[in-house]
Structure 1
């Protein structure tokens, strides 16, 4: 395919997969259970944090997380007391355990009580329209609270050459327009043009097969290469192609 044909192909696939019937097969179904902005973003952040491994397991454990919080995540965060840490004793998702979860709850509480919430905490770290720098600065802010060093691995740092797939996915959920019925579009202070594609096995493999990527690793440098390729096709909403690349890989075994 030439560049024009490739863009037309991916535009078509993006439209094909960015539909509400995508939701039941994806972890994004968890925040879609809520209507309040703060509930949506907290549910989305925690779900994205554990979004690696088997998708069924991700959805099952994210549902357990919501149950622990009484399916009222914002209220739970605001009123959390460390004496309630026993609630997390049975929770584990791969290497994310009850200690990590308790730290995340306290960190979120700190952000909402002292920094105006998740959106303002992210936006405050973005300099020169660089969302990846914003993610790195957000990580510093997030771990202001007392924590074990091991817990830091659950928030990626793009400045350490991480593709930061889970946080970039979370930002896609929060920022992109909601008109197609999948993403939420509740964060108005970040432009979709600045977002990066959530780079995973599926998007990476399909990107290489289509000539969008040359690097073999799924790291920060590869993410920059992919972003550059996608922005040439749509500079205002490059991350819409996440639906195309992921759909081709996960559902069509492209």
Structure 2
């Protein structure tokens, strides 16, 4: 039977704001970039290169960050560090570039078909942001989660994509937390950040959901911001709703605070703990 957790009232959540704001300021600094996959967006000056390199970096952000960085660097080297040009000109013979590539459950066939889909997006929509914008408007018009429409329309562009590749793009209809896609949108949408580039504008940062991974969820439960015990789509909504009380215009900024608390050796001070069994 799932453990029953205590949850903060709205008034109690607001009392956490000074503590969490301090942690955001401590973690969200330029020094953060070099040890995080977001560095691949910063590595390019061309906006489309930033968006495409960042997309691969985000969907591969699974496991230790140093390993992720090494694998993304390997992938971009296979693209000659020119992701837009490589994707736009991709042909059957270029599939050999991915031979031997592996990261977690990503295999060469996945990178080939993800590249083919991105090529279709660039040919049909001119830019990756225009595709995101079309998905966003469709989701709004049909009252569906953005990540459900994104998944659906992404793979519709290449119906021959192997089913195994579908798992690499999250789907809110499957109740996934969609952590990696919302991490990407955090990088691409948040403005005036020393880390996140804010190079897309199709959606306001106020609508971002928290990129929920196991570490962020653990700290959120310890603080009493999240009482659901599964890391799924409903937990994303519950935690994001709590964080919007702290900053309605930019709730995703608190991803930095929860991440920082998760890696801090001292952990959460006892005075802020509501569910101590989840403390680091």
TM-score (norm 1): 0.95
Where does 1:61-80 land on structure 2 (aligned, <5 Å)? 61-80=71-90
Q: Please point out which of 119, 140, 143 is paired with 2:152.
A: 140
Asked which structure has the greater RCO (Cα within 8 Å, sep 6+), the reply is: 2
Q: Choose 135-144 or 103-112, whichever is displaced more.
A: 135-144
| Deviation of the 1:247 alpha carbon | 1.1
Residues 105/92 of structure 1: CA separation in 2 closer, same or farther (3 Å cut): same
**What aligned pairs does 1:49-60 form with structure 2 within 5 A after superposition?**
49-60=59-70
| Moved beyond 4 Å, runs of 4+ | 129-132
> In the alignment, which of 96, 102, 105 is matched to residue 95 of structure 1?
105
**2:170 matched to which residue of 1?**
156
Structure 2 unaligned regions, length at least 5: 1-7, 268-280
Instruction: Call closer, same or farther: CA 1:103–1:21 in 2, change over 3 Å.
Output: same
Cα offset for 1:253? Answer: 6.1
Instruction: Using the TM superposition, give the Cα deviation of residue 128 of structure 1 relative to its aligned residue in structure 2, in angstroms.
Output: 2.9
Q: Does 1:233 align with 2:221?
A: no
Please give the root-mean-square deviation of Cα atoms over the aligned residues, in Å: 1.7
Q: Return the offset for 1:28.
A: 0.8
Q: Please name the residue that 1:197 is paired with.
A: 210
After superposing the two structures, state which structure 1 stretch, 201-210 or 121-130, moved more: 121-130
Count residues in correspondence. 253
Q: TM-score, normalised by structure 2?
A: 0.87
